[in-house]
Amino acid sequence: MSICCADIPHLPGLESIIFRAGLTGGQRIVRWPYVAENDSIQPWVSGGELVFVTGINHRRNERNLCQLVKEAIASNVAGLVILTGQEYIQQIPNSVLELANQYQLPILEQPYSLKMVFVTEVISNAIVQDNLLGKSVRLFLTKLINGFDQAPELIHLRAGDLGISDNHPFTTLALRINYLHPNTDTENYQLMQVNHELELHLGGILKRRGIEWPVLNYDKDLLVIWPLSENGTSELYKELEQILGLLQKRFPEHVICIGVSERKTGLDKLSDATEQARQALQFAVKHHHQRIFFYEQLGIARLYAAIPNRGLLAEFCKQHLGELCFARDETTLEMKNTLNHYFNHFGHLQQTADTMGLHRNTLSYRLNKIELRLGYSLQDSFLRLNLQNALLIEQVLFHHHNIEEKADMPDLQHD
């Protein structure tokens, strides 16, 4: 949906602009054109700009052009357009092109004979028109995600009006990014900015793969409609692993998790697919050792999610978790995390301790404290099974929001 650097030479009237370097970064999204007037661009850009370098008001030598490439990378601009001609910048030095290729930064060459006022007008109009269409598509998809009730035939017609296809199978991906060690409100604010950067970066990855669906925001998650081929789940997992690797490389100080819905066909199924993806994401977030979680993996949790009587499920949790139930303080969360690791390793103390980076004696001490809080022994296999299911149900209930039936469960939060 968005205009990217690779689109620029294909816009009407801009055919004389050519790609010179950084073609692998051609899918970088262009937020707006900016004409560089100063020695440095870094103080004047905020990311996503297509920067035009004319050399008219400031002499540009090889050293300065290399400096601009480095600043463009640091500032996450979309790309550079360098104007060449007899009067100012006669040609782009090879060292500049090599540097751009190294960092996958798009560099385009524009002849001086092509008027800047015309170029910026064409690009600006294309961005505005694309944004208007993109907003219409996002609004349409957001309505479907929120369960907007329309007949499949009407949805199909509306999708056609917007130029999107709704007759191919797809899965919905839900992504969430968090700090490895969040501890301050400042970090929470910064996380919002990082989430926006993730949205842009993810949009670029999708475009490189020929996926035209926009990245959507839903609460604190990002949603992606991912077209499916006839390949099985294993092929999809490999693709998503590759994407997760690219994202983690771009955001090394954060944890990124992905939840994946079942295979669906028809946009009338988008709401169900979104709910499935977010349920799967909830488990991926909870179990960091598995960053990609498929809805099919949820097993019995799917049955719990389908039970309409949330109050009954909450009572089961309270019965078996006791005062740990729905509590979110740091000590209680540590206890429940310990229990989850303990159950995931089938009660094997040494394996659990190794996974958690603890001494076995420390783990035993923690489990003893948990038994005191619960009021029963973890050696009882039947009680242990109930406790494991209670932890699972608690996650399902928290996913259903922070819980829609709060009025029926006044004691849900104990913090």
Mean pLDDT in order along the chain per 10 residues (415 residues): 85 94 89 90 91 88 94 93 91 95 95 94 87 75 77 75 78 87 58 79 81 84 87 77 87 89 89 90 75 81 72 87 86 87 84 87 91 87 84 74 40 38
Q: Six-digit token pair at 32? A: 């707006």
Measured CA to CA, the distance from residue 391 to residue 405 in angstroms comes to 18
Measured CA to CA, the distance from residue 216 to residue 213 in angstroms comes to 9
- The alpha-carbon radius of gyration of the chain (Å, integer) is 26
Q: Which CATH number goes with the domain that contains 88?
A: 3.40.1390.20
Q: Six-digit token pair at 39? A: 């020695």
* One domain, residues 291 and 309: no
Domain that includes residue 159, residue range: 147-298
Helix axes 270-286, 381-399, angle to 10 degrees: 130
Examine residue 137 and state whether it is found in any structural domain, yes or no.
Answer: no
* One domain, residues 277 and 178: yes
Q: Six-digit token pair at 299? A: 């097993």
* One domain, residues 102 and 173: no
3 state SS for the chain = CCCEHHHHHHCCCCCCCEEEECHHHCCCECCEEEEECCCCCHHHCCCCEEEEECCCCCCCCHHHHHHHHHHHHHCCCCEEEEEECCCCCCCCCHHHHHHHHHHCCCEEEEECCCCHHHHHHHHHHHHHHHHHHHHHHHHHHHHHHCCCCCCHHHHHHHHHHCCCCCCCEEEEEEEEEEECCCCCHHHHHHHHHHHHHHHHHHHHHHHHCCCCCCCEEECCEEEEEEECCCCCHHHHHHHHHHHHHHHHHHCCCEEEEEEECCCEECHHHHHHHHHHHHHHHHHHHHCCCCCEEEHHHHCHHHHHHHCCCHHHHHHHHHHHHHHHCCCCCHHHHHHHHHHHHHHHCCCCHHHHHHHHCCCHHHHHHHHHHHHHHHCCCCCCHHHHHHHHHHHHHHHHHHHCCCCCCHHHCCCCCCC
- Phi and psi (nearest 5°) for 90? -75, -35
**Cβ atoms within 10 A of the Cβ of 329, count?**
10
The residue written with tokens 């850009």 in the block is 45
Examine residue 17 and state whether it is found in any structural domain, yes or no.
Answer: yes
202 in Cβ contact with 247 (< 8 Å): yes
Examine residue 349 and state whether it is found in any structural domain, yes or no.
Answer: yes
Domain termination site, one of 298, 325, 360: 298
* One domain, residues 320 and 366: yes
**Burial group, residue 283, by CB count within 10 angstroms (0-12, 13-18, 19+):** buried
187 in Cβ contact with 181 (< 8 Å): no
* One domain, residues 257 and 171: yes
Examine residue 73 and state whether it is found in any structural domain, yes or no.
Answer: yes
Cα three-residue angle 217-221-225, rounded to 5 degrees: 65
Domain count, the chain: 3
41 in Cβ contact with 73 (< 8 Å): no
* One domain, residues 119 and 28: yes
* One domain, residues 283 and 320: no
pLDDT of the residue at 354: 87
pLDDT of the residue at 415: 35
The separation between the first and the last C-alpha atoms of the chain, rounded to the nearest angstrom, is 44
Measured CA to CA, the distance from residue 364 to residue 367 in angstroms comes to 5
* One domain, residues 204 and 274: yes
Q: Six-digit token pair at 219? A: 């609460």
Q: Which CATH number goes with the domain that contains 209?
A: 3.30.70.270
pLDDT of the residue at 11: 92
* One domain, residues 258 and 374: no
Closest by Cα among 363, 299, 304, 310 to 337: 363
Examine residue 1 and state whether it is found in any structural domain, yes or no.
Answer: no
Q: Which CATH number goes with the domain that contains 312?
A: 1.10.10.2840
- Phi and psi (nearest 5°) for 329? -70, 160
Examine residue 163 and state whether it is found in any structural domain, yes or no.
Answer: yes
* One domain, residues 245 and 309: no
* One domain, residues 186 and 273: yes
Examine residue 134 and state whether it is found in any structural domain, yes or no.
Answer: no
Paired with 227 in beta bridges are 170
Q: Six-digit token pair at 271? A: 């709401």
* One domain, residues 335 and 195: no
Q: Six-digit token pair at 264? A: 């669906």
Examine residue 132 and state whether it is found in any structural domain, yes or no.
Answer: no
CA 284 from centroid of its chain's CA atoms: 13
Measured CA to CA, the distance from residue 301 to residue 287 in angstroms comes to 15
